[in-house]
Every structure is written in structure tokens, then in C-alpha cells.
Amino acid sequence: MRFIAKSVVVTGGASGMGEAVAKRLAREGASVLVADFNEAGGTRVVSEITAAGGTALFQHTDVSDPSSAQAMVDAAVTNFGKLDLAANVAGIGQGHALVQETELELWQRVNGVNSSGLFFSLRAEIPALLAAGGGAIVNVASLAGLQTFKSLNAYVASKHAAVGLTKNAALENKNIRVNGIAPGAVLTPMLGNLSQEEVDGYAASVPSGRLGTPQDIANVVAFLLSEEASFVNGAVIPVDGGLLVA
């Protein structure tokens, strides 16, 4: 129970990796604010956490809107008395398109959530953590923040921005550890349109021989937020089954 008496916001907490993170932190004693645009999913996650004996509440949040990101943090402080931790998991993908074929609306939407949305979240979270005496933040980026992927230009740009924001936030803020993780292919709703053959093909390219699960991501997020990682700061850790070095 590493997070007793700790409060945390989890963006993107209504499904996939964010849901797994929210439930993992709640199981370890944290009071969790589940922040997401998906009200039905967020409400379900909160109900499941509370039914298991945890403490959680849902806040309808659009991280691409700075006022909504601030309201998320304000709700956590109002309901829990402080904010100790944050897990910024919210993110969206994109279809394949070369740079010259990428629609402006797609570019703005992907970067609005993955890049600006992370900035707005950090901008709201950091003062609250400082007011509580410090804490820890984990940002979920992607392998696309560490390397290139042809025809995923908006996504790659947004995740490179997430990596840079993570490192700069760590540099700037004493008493707040800011780390990131870079997941590889993870079985989440974002991969829901893939056939089993496509899933198997991806898995064959991973040295570990399988795709990741949301629980794999939640395990590393929980470690980085805990005092066990007290000397880890400004790191962006691949969680990819070895795909980056394959």
C-alpha cells in the first residue's frame, strides 16, 4: 500500500492504460480523480474502484481545454484536500498520412490532446503539487516520442513534444519528480480495429513475444510515482517488450 493518504489525478482514466493506472493506484491506497472526456467510461471506472473498497471520483475533463484541465486539478484539491501525484495518460492516435497529406484538422486535434493537453495538465498540476510540498508526475508518451514512424507525423510530433515537456518539467521543479514512459504496442481500445492476424504480426516483432497490456503500463507508472523511485527524475522509460532495440 504505497499510496495511503496520497491523492492523484489520472487523465484518460476512463479506459485502457488510464483505467489500469487508476485502479492500480486506488488498490494501493490512493484517492483517485479519474479525469476523462468519456463520462460513461469514467463513471464505470469510479464505480468499480469504490466497489472494491477504494476512493475515487470522476471529473469530466477535456485536457485540450486549459480551463477544463484547471478544473480537474481544482476538483482534486477540493475533494481530497491536496494533490500529491499525477498520471497524465490521456492521448489519441491518428490514421496514416504523409506530411503533405496530413489534414490541418487532424494535426490540430492530435497535437491539441497529446501535446497541448499535456502542457495544460502540467500547468495546472505543478502549482498544486508544490502547494502540497512536492510530489511526482508520470507522463505517458510513446515509442513515437523516441523514434520515427512513417506516416504518423502528427502523432510522432505530439509524442516528441511530450518527451521534451517531461524533461523540462523535471529540470524546472525542485521537489517534484517528473518522469515519462514510452509504451510500445499495447492492447488498448486504440488497437481495437486490428484483426487477430495483425495483432499476431505485431507481437512477432517484439522481442518479448507479445504485445503489452494496460497492467504492464500501470505497474511502471505506480513504481515511478512511488518513493521506491525517489532518485528517478527526468527519465523517459521504454515499456515495449524490447521493441526499441529490436
- Can 202 be counted among the known catalytic residues? no
Whether 75 maps to a domain, the answer reads yes
Output the CA torsion 191→59→157→222 (10° steps): -70
Which CATH number characterizes residue 182's domain? 3.40.50.720
Whether 2 maps to a domain, the answer reads no
Whether 29 maps to a domain, the answer reads yes
* pLDDT, position 120: 98
The domain containing residue 156 runs over which residues?
7-245
Sequence-ordered list of residues with C-beta below 8 angstroms from that of 41, at least 6 positions apart, any chain? 14, 15, 19
Answer whether 236's CB lies under 8 Å from 145's CB.
Answer: yes
What confidence category does residue 192 fall into, taking pLDDT thresholds of 50, 70 and 90?
low
**How many domains is the chain built from?**
1
Integer Cα distance of 15 and 22 in angstroms: 10
Task: Please name which of 15, 76, 1 lies closest in space to residue 214, comparing C-alpha atoms.
Answer: 15
Residues 54-74: tens digit of each pLDDT: 999 999 999 999 999 999 999
* pLDDT, position 160: 98
Q: What is the average pLDDT value for the chain, to the nearest integer?
A: 96
Task: Please name which of 75, 11, 67 lies closest in space to residue 37, comparing C-alpha atoms.
Answer: 11
Which residue of the set 107, 132, 155, 239 is catalytic?
155
Integer Cα distance of 15 and 17 in angstroms: 6
Residues 79-135: tens digit of each pLDDT: 999 999 999 999 999 989 999 999 999 999 999 999 999 999 999 999 999 999 999
How much is the average pLDDT of 23-44?
98
Share of the chain above pLDDT 70, in %: 98
The DSSP call for residue 207 is T
Whether 120 maps to a domain, the answer reads yes
Share of the chain above pLDDT 90, in %: 91
* pLDDT, position 231: 98
How much is the average pLDDT of 1-10?
97
Whether 12 maps to a domain, the answer reads yes
Whether 210 maps to a domain, the answer reads yes
Sequence-ordered list of residues with C-beta below 8 angstroms from that of 241, at least 6 positions apart, any chain? 184, 206, 207, 208, 209, 210, 211, 212
Whether 1 maps to a domain, the answer reads no
